[in-house]
């Protein structure tokens, strides 16, 4: 139940009547105006800007914004659940609702429970791809942001009513996995008793490959040692990639990030047998005349030592909005990463997806246009790709930047941070920030100030609400706190202004969900939850000075019923929002 959408519709109906009466042109776009909660409580419960938006059109019929507003307001004022509709300022229509509206919202929140705020199923299924960290080592803190963001975004879109598939693209086909294999082979030799000394430049030095080497030694004994690289490399590579993916899946689980589908780049290329779908995708484009042999100008800015001007296989991405055309085949005959990525996105489209979302790090920003061009080309304009860029996390330790590099081997792993500050704090902190704003993540600070982290504030509100419900049970033996029982309470007893303001916040939840999903901005949920928690804490504290405002009133079970209903609705919405963010909603704080 979304009262904002409801009134948007009602005003649209009134506008249609005005159009029919000749007061506005027939071509009116009825989606242009908004119904929103006014910033000032004094302005009522809802505010609509319709009259100002259509002022120009009204002028043609001899009216102005205020006259139009007065007409709309008059129509609204006649409706049963509208207490008052008045025109203010340049033409705002401020609507004050009868209490029954909010009582119905409360009832809906209780009856619908965890589904309150969910959107009706609508729209194309969405494919959300996120994380896609290379299978060459454990996840580090830098990966966490995109992982948490993508996971929460997927949950949000799903809750808002669109089917979502959560996907991870495993980059298991490039040169980096050969490096991984050589690095693992070194550890294998080490496990066989050889002294390997320092890990050579260009290989991954991390300790996490030690167990992989040991497992290889256990499985193959010394048999791999005598073989040429061309023979052992595919074997070691397979084992190492599998081990890395197990590790990454564990890291994801620790961060409570889940995926439905893991897609392998290697499988697309047919490198281990099977159909070469990269080639198929390129051939498809070639047959349509958008792949050709040509030359590219040398890149500007960054000077490249070994730039060679040569004829190469190019994809005419510039026909689809990219700046220049892009190469598909490397000089050694292999596919570029881009070529494989085209095949991968084509695969998603072939699986029926028209709406694609990719979550990338900001360092891939330069890649957006060409990928969108590719999706447009491959789908013949039927599919769209939305890329959400997460600015890189600057990891700090007491004000000092910490370098994060797999090669250096001194990166801070995701696991270390999760173990230290907890998954809830990591997730909430990352989701309290817009994805396209940079984030300084100071380890020392997060650990030291974890008490001040907003996640505890919101979780505490939930725990406090649950405690209140338990308290009601202690005061009234056999108290029935089930939503069904509470939905029958007399909500007319909730007359205090701070109770009403909490009800207003609850009524906003469906709107926040809808808009956060449409804007693809999970952080709006986090901010909303903080606001709801603030309202709840504030109201709770008023009960200290004014005992008659407490949730549990031993002298009135009716009043207690109504207020516990409010508390249950608040905890229900908090739990719902926290679930979208993947953060635990505790029964009590320890």
Residues 163-222 that bind RNA (CB under 7 A): 171, 173-176
In the complex with RNA, the residue whose CB is nearer, 249 or 550, is 550
Region binding RNA by CB under 7 A among candidate stretches 274-282, 287-295, 397-405, 468-476: 468-476
In 10 A of CB 368, how many CB atoms?
A: 16
Nearer to RNA, 191 or 204 (CB): 204
Choose the binding region for RNA from 40-48, 96-104, 207-215, 252-260 (rule: CB under 7 A): 40-48
**Cβ proximity of 427 and 583 under 8 Å:** yes
Under rule CB under 7 A, residue 398 binds RNA: no
Choice from 21, 25, 32, 295 touching RNA (CB under 7 A): 32
Q: Binding RNA by CB under 7 A: which of 11, 18, 24, 55?
A: 55
By the rule CB under 7 A, 313 interacts with RNA: no
Q: DSSP 3-state assignment of 440?
A: strand
Pairing of strands 439-442, 393-397: parallel
Range in contact with RNA (rule: CB under 7 A) among 98-106, 111-119, 323-331, 372-380: 323-331
- What residues contact 459, with CB distance under 8 A and at least 6 apart? 424, 578, 583, 584, 585, 586, 589
Residue 369 interacting with RNA (CB under 7 A): yes
Per-residue x/- track, 503-532, RNA (CB under 7 A):
------------x--xx-x-xx--x--x--
Binding to RNA (CB under 7 A): which residues in 64-93? 65, 88-92
Instruction: Give the separation between CA 431 and CA 527, rounded to whole angstroms.
Output: 9
The residue range among 67-75, 187-195, 359-367, 572-580 that interacts with RNA, by the rule CB under 7 A, is 359-367
Helices 229-254 and 414-421: angle between axes, nearest 10 degrees: 20
Q: Which of 102, 320, 353, 456 binds RNA (CB under 7 A)?
A: 456
Give the CA angle between residues 109, 570, 155 to the nearest 5°: 70
Q: Is the four-CA dihedral 392, 395, 396, 400 of positive or negative sign?
A: negative
CB-nearer residue toward RNA: 294 or 438: 438
Q: How many Å apart are CA 483 and CA 113, to the nearest integer?
A: 8
Reading phi first (left if > 0) and then psi (alpha if -120 to 50, else beta), residue 270 is in left
C-alpha span between 400 and 424 (Å, rounded): 24
Shortest CB 268 distance to RNA, Å: 12
Query: What element of type H or E holds 358?
Result: strand 355-361
Smaller CB distance to RNA: residue 191 or 395? 395
Query: Between 111 and 420, whose beta carbon lies closer to RNA?
Result: 420
- Of the listed pieces 256-264, 280-288, 395-403, 436-444, which binds RNA according to CB under 7 A? 436-444
Residue 239 vs 520, nearer CB to RNA: 520
Residue 34 near RNA by CB under 7 A: yes
Output the 3-class SS for 210-266: HHHHHHHHHHHCCCCCCCCHHHHHHHHHHHHHHHHHHHHHHHHHHCCCCCCEEEEHH
Residue 344 touches RNA, criterion: CB under 7 A: no
Q: Which of 22, 62, 273, 301 binds RNA (CB under 7 A)?
A: 301
DSSP state letters, 482-496: -HHHHTTS-GGG--S
How many residues of this chain bind RNA (CB under 7 A)? 101
Near RNA by CB under 7 A: residue from 2, 11, 14, 37: 37
Q: Toward RNA, which CB reaches closer, 491 or 536?
A: 536
User: With binding defined as CB under 7 A, does residue 389 bind RNA?
Assistant: yes
> Considering beta carbons, is residue 225 or 470 the nearer one to RNA?
470
Answer for which of 434, 483, 487, 493 binds RNA (CB under 7 A) is 434
Beta bridge partners of residue 396, listed in sequence order: 401, 442
What are the two backbone dihedrals, phi and then psi, of residue 546, each rounded to the nearest 5 degrees? Answer: -125, 85
Beta bridge partners of 189: none
Q: Which residues pair with 261 in a beta bridge?
A: 167
How many other CB atoms sit within 10 Å of the CB of residue 340? 23
Q: Which is nearer to RNA, 190 or 521 (CB)?
A: 521
Backbone angles phi, psi at 63, to 5 degrees: -115, 170
Contact with RNA (CB under 7 A): which of 274, 299, 381, 401? Answer: 299
| Residues within window 535-554 making contact with RNA, judged by CB under 7 A | 537-538, 540-545, 547, 550-552
Helices (H) then strands (E): counts for the chain: 21, 15
Rule CB under 7 A: say whether 457 interacts with RNA.
yes
**For the chain, percent helix, then strand, then coil, each to nearest 5?**
55, 15, 35
Residue 300 makes contact with RNA by CB under 7 A: yes
Task: Please identify, using beta-carbon distances, which residue of 213 and 465 lies nearer to RNA.
Answer: 465
Among 26, 39, 218, 403, binds RNA (CB under 7 A): 39
Does position 392 interact with RNA (CB under 7 A)? The reply is yes
């Amino acid at each position: 139940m979304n009262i904002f959408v409801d009134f948007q519709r009602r005003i649209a109906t009134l506008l249609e009547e005005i159009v029919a009466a000749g007061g506005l042109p027939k071509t009116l776009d009825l989606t242009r105006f908004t119904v929103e909660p006014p910033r000032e409580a004094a302005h009522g419960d809802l505010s609509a800007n319709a009259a100002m938006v259509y002022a120009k059109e009204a002028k043609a019929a001899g009216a102005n914004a205020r006259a139009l507003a007065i007409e709309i307001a008059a129509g609204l004022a006649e409706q049963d659940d509208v207490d008052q509709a008045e025109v203010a300022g340049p033409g705002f229509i401020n609507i004050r609702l009868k209490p029954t509206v909010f009582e119905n919202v409360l009832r809906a929140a209780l009856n619908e429970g965890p589904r309150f705020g969910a959107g009706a199923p609508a729209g194309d299924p969405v494919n959300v791809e996120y994380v896609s960290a290379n299978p060459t080592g454990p996840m580090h803190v830098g990966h966490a942001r995109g992982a948490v963001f993508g996971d929460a975004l997927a949950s949000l879109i799903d809750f808002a009513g669109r089917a979502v598939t959560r996907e991870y693209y495993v980059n298991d086909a490039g040169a980096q996995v050969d490096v991984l294999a050589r690095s693992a082979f070194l550890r294998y030799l080490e496990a066989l008793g050889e002294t390997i000394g320092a890990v050579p430049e260009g290989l991954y030095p991390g300790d996490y490959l030690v167990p992989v080497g040991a497992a290889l030694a256990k499985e193959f004994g010394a048999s791999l040692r005598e073989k040429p690289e061309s023979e052992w490399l595919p074997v070691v590579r397979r084992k190492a990639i599998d081990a890395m993916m197990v590790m990454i899946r564990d890291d994801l689980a620790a961060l409570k990030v889940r995926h439905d589908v893991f897609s392998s780049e290697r499988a697309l290329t047919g490198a281990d047998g099977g159909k070469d779908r990269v080639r198929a995708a390129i051939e498809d484009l070639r047959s349509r005349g958008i792949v050709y042999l040509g030359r590219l100008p040398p890149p500007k800015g960054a000077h490249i030592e070994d730039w060679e001007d040569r004829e190469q296989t190019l994809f005419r991405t510039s026909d689809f909005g990219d700046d220049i055309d892009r190469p598909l085949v490397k000089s050694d005959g292999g596919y570029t990463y881009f070529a494989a990525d085209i095949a991968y996105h084509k695969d998603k489209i072939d699986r029926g997806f028209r709406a694609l979302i990719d979550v990338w790090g900001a360092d891939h920003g330069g890649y957006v246009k060409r990928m969108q061009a590719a999706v447009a080309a491959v789908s013949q304009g039927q599919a769209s790709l939305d890329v959400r860029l997460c600015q890189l996390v600057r990891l700090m330790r007491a004000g000092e930047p910490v370098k994060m590099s797999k090669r250096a081997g001194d990166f801070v792993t995701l696991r270390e941070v999760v173990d230290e500050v907890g998954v809830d704090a990591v997730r909430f902190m990352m989701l309290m920030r817009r994805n396209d704003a940079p984030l300084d993540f100071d380890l020392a600070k997060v650990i030291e100030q974890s008490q001040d982290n907003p996640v505890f504030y919101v979780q505490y509100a939930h725990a406090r609400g649950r405690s209140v419900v338990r308290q009601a049970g202690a005061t009234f033996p056999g108290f029935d706190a089930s939503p069904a029982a509470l939905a029958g309470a007399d909500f007319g007893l909730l007359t205090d202004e701070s109770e009403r303001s909490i009800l207003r916040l609850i009524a906003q939840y469906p709107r926040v969900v809808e808009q956060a999903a449409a804007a693809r901005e999970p952080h709006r949920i986090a901010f909303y939850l903080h606001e709801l928690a603030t309202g709840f804490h504030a109201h709770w504290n008023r009960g200290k000075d004014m005992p008659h405002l407490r949730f549990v009133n031993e002298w009135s079970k009716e009043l207690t019923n109504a207020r516990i209903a409010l508390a249950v609705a608040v905890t229900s919405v908090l739990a719902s929002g926290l679930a979208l963010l993947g953060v635990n909603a505790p029964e009590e704080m320890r």
